[in-house]
Structure 1
Amino acid sequence: MTSNRSFTAIVPAAGIGKRMNRDLPKQYLTIAGKTIIEHTLERLICHPQIGRIIVVLHPQDSHFTQLTIAQSANIITVTGGKERSDSVLAGLAMVAADEQWVLVHDAARPCLHPDDLSALLQLAEQGEVGGILAAPVRDTMKRSNTQQFVEKTESRDNLWHALTPQFFPAQMLYQALSQAQQLKLNITDEASAIEQFGGKVKIVIGRASNIKVTQDEDLLLAHFYLTQLPQEINQT
């Protein structure tokens, strides 16, 4: 059953996409006539439980305001920082005090399926434990040494590819990220901040098609997956 509750989503988009070696940040590369970030934001806007989206931009970003979607009444922008945690904290600072939960989604994940998003949002109806979308590891996993020789094969049992969105009580996430920054901990996603301080993180099984565009070959794959998604976009 779908709840009538509405949630705020934070989309960190202050990265410059170093791994793709492009002059343009990867979120502004084009797939099927739209930028990656436009596809990503449309997947959120079209979901009936996402009421507002906070897009966190690089201080020198000159691209986002040129997009039609930037004029959406559902979207506000703030300035981010050097690290992902800086940007998420900047977004959290814009979340109203009475908002109990917040969603964080990568700007470069344009292929989010609405059913997976709905399943994740159901955590708010089940208690106070947040969670993440994740896909089970299917490949054989090898651990190497620093010279890239295989040391051993890891069991795939209970191993998951962490995806986004990630969905947590807003105050819990703010405190975890703030403490992690103060202690200079290595935080790679929101869940890792929660984990560092003993918080529980529920896994919600998501589609492996929810890829993050990080390499050139991901553009073609994302194009294919986008053609398989429901195309109805709520323009209100």
Structure 2
Amino acid sequence: MNVAIILAGGIGSRLGLGKPKQFMKVAGKTVLEHTVEAFQKHDLIDEIVIVMHANYVHDAESMLLKNHWTKVKRILNGGSERYESSLVAIKAYENTSNQDQINFIFHDAVRPLVSKRIIDETISALRNYDAVDVAIPAVDTIIELDSSKQFISSIPNRSYLNRGQTPQAFKYKTIQRAYELAMQDPNLQATDDCGIVRKYLPKTEIYVVQGAEQNIKLTYPEDIYVLDKLFQLKSTEPDGNIAFEDLKGKVLVVFGGNSGIGLDMINIAKKHGAHCYAFSRSINNTDISDVSDVENALEQVYGKEGKVNYVVNSAAVLNKEPIMHLNNRTINSIIDINYKGMVHVTVAAYKYIKESKGAILQFTSSSYTRGRANYALYSSTKAAVVNFVQALAEEWEQDNIRINCINPQRTKTPMRTANFGIEPEGTLLKSEDVAKISLQTLLSNFSGNVVDVKL
């Protein structure tokens, strides 16, 4: 049994705020909510324990009810020191049977961007090791000061130095025994749980999992802005082991399915037994800038199939010209298709996807992170796609609707060729490869994420 221990006992003194930092809002939710949800949604986590400062236990209980955290089994009063909070969680399980089958995964509540990959690898490492840490290489030179803290006493070789992160994971019996010995030490000093194991169980090997720069800890006021930007840019990868056979019998509707990535999605899905429908201005005379066209298309499919499982919008237009060269008709067309069309497809799909508990997929572009000269409208509408998807993922979470967007690098499609001409083959993604990852995303259980597709 894998038990995630969310250590949320801090009071955020370094932020200089009137409330603990785990209650700061970032990307629409508190930091604590983001963190707990990373473990709530993880398939390998069986239970979650939140260790909270006593003054804020009620706030955590309110979040539990609001967010329907089914894996949260305990909310415990923490101590004034980190090690005291860890000890509280350990003691909560000391009378549990089958302790030799319990793993504890300790994680800082203020590291909300912990990835599925890190959690996967941490838990996997516990099959072979009794203790696991997460760390990233030190990229700066580390200096050690003398006792005056004013002069350098040594400069360690940084090739052996790493910066510790969380989670830190242990077999329950290992961490329990380490703390048992630690509590007998009248001079106990500890900053983390691996430090406890290292000091009091020196023969225990501590395996190190590669962390991530994005897995930052909210500590200083500037970190709030960094976190907010990282959430905007957050990318997820679908499980590469997802079987396309799961598409069998599913109903897939693709707006913009006449060419490029959309057409490839349809061709692949058909081979695996999906019932596929393509709509575009050249197919069925469907214009996504006209909401009635979109509604009629979906009604037509639902009337024939009795369900719609997946709705994809790959339709977009790109005019690679300075904006002052565009007339009003062209400007309105780009906005109507790239932005309004996205809204029309998503809103019209709502009732069908809510019923089927399916998924919606939109497409952004690498230009969403920064506007590009000569296609300002295209860049800005693709930035809007990301914000729109992230917002609706939160709005529609309780309706069991998943919505994500694909962010492919430069891809060989008719639209790109029309605007950029012939380019070296090795510099472009194949549209079929993007289509495969797009289908895997539809079959995945995450929502509100940008899926980067790179060469």
- Report if TM-score (shorter chain) is over 0.5: yes
Q: Is the 8 A contact 1:12 1:87 kept in 2?
A: yes
1:16 maps onto 2:11 in alignment: yes
Deviation at 1:161, TM superposition (A): 0.6
Deviation at 1:77, TM superposition (A): 0.7
Q: Render the CA deviation track for 1:133-190: whole Å, top value 9, x for unaligned.
A: 1101111112223343334432102111111000111111012123213203211111
* Secondary structure, aligned partner of 1:125: coil
* Secondary structure, aligned partner of 2:76: strand
Q: 2:35 maps to which residue?
A: 40
Instruction: Give, in whole Å, the separation in 1 of the partners of 2:13 and 2:179.
Output: 24
Q: Is the 8 A contact 1:137 1:159 kept in 2?
A: yes
1:196 maps onto 2:196 in alignment: no
Q: 1:219 maps to which residue?
A: 224
Q: Is the 8 A contact 1:194 1:200 kept in 2?
A: no
Q: 1:113 maps to which residue?
A: 115
Unpaired runs of 5+ residues, structure 1, are 1-5
Amino acid corresponding to residue 23 of structure 1 in structure 2 = G
Amino acid corresponding to residue 110 of structure 1 in structure 2 = P
* Secondary structure, aligned partner of 1:92: helix
Q: 2:134 maps to which residue?
A: 133
Deviation at 1:220, TM superposition (A): 1.4
Instruction: Give, in whole Å, the separation in 1 of the partners of 2:159 and 2:153.
Output: 18
Q: 2:82 maps to which residue?
A: 84
Greater mean deviation of Cα atoms: 144-153 or 156-165: 144-153
Q: 1:74 maps to which residue?
A: 71
* Secondary structure, aligned partner of 1:23: coil
Q: 2:190 maps to which residue?
A: 187
1:209 maps onto 2:214 in alignment: yes
Computed over aligned residues only, the root mean square deviation of the Cα atoms, in angstroms, reads: 1.8
Amino acid corresponding to residue 193 of structure 2 in structure 1 = E
Q: 1:28 maps to which residue?
A: 23
Amino acid corresponding to residue 73 of structure 1 in structure 2 = T
Q: Render the CA deviation track for 1:47-96: whole Å, top value 9, x for unaligned.
A: 10011100011122142223255642211211111211111111122333
Instruction: Give, in whole Å, the separation in 2 of the partners of 1:147 and 1:73.
Output: 48
Instruction: Give, in whole Å, the separation in 2 of the partners of 1:15 and 1:144.
Output: 28
Instruction: Give, in whole Å, the separation in 2 of the partners of 1:147 and 1:194.
Output: 28
Aligned length: 227
Instruction: Give, in whole Å, the separation in 2 of the partners of 1:202 and 1:142.
Output: 25
Q: Is the 8 A contact 2:130 2:174 kept in 1?
A: no
* Secondary structure, aligned partner of 1:22: coil
Which protein has the larger Cα radius of gyration, Structure 1 or Structure 2? 2
Q: 1:93 maps to which residue?
A: 91
Q: TM-score, normalised by structure 2?
A: 0.48
Q: 1:165 maps to which residue?
A: 167
Deviation at 1:34, TM superposition (A): 0.7
Instruction: Give, in whole Å, the separation in 2 of the partners of 1:65 and 1:148.
Output: 46
Unpaired runs of 5+ residues, structure 2, are 237-403, 405-445, 448-455
Deviation at 1:125, TM superposition (A): 2.2
Q: TM-score, normalised by structure 1?
A: 0.89
CA separation of 1:49 and 1:169: change in aligned 2, threshold 3 A: same
Structure (1 or 2) with the greater helix fraction: 2
* Secondary structure, aligned partner of 1:168: strand
Q: Is the 8 A contact 2:52 2:77 kept in 1?
A: yes
Q: Percent identity?
A: 26
Q: Is the 8 A contact 2:108 2:167 kept in 1?
A: yes
Q: 1:3 maps to which residue?
A: none
Q: Is the 8 A contact 1:16 1:25 kept in 2?
A: yes
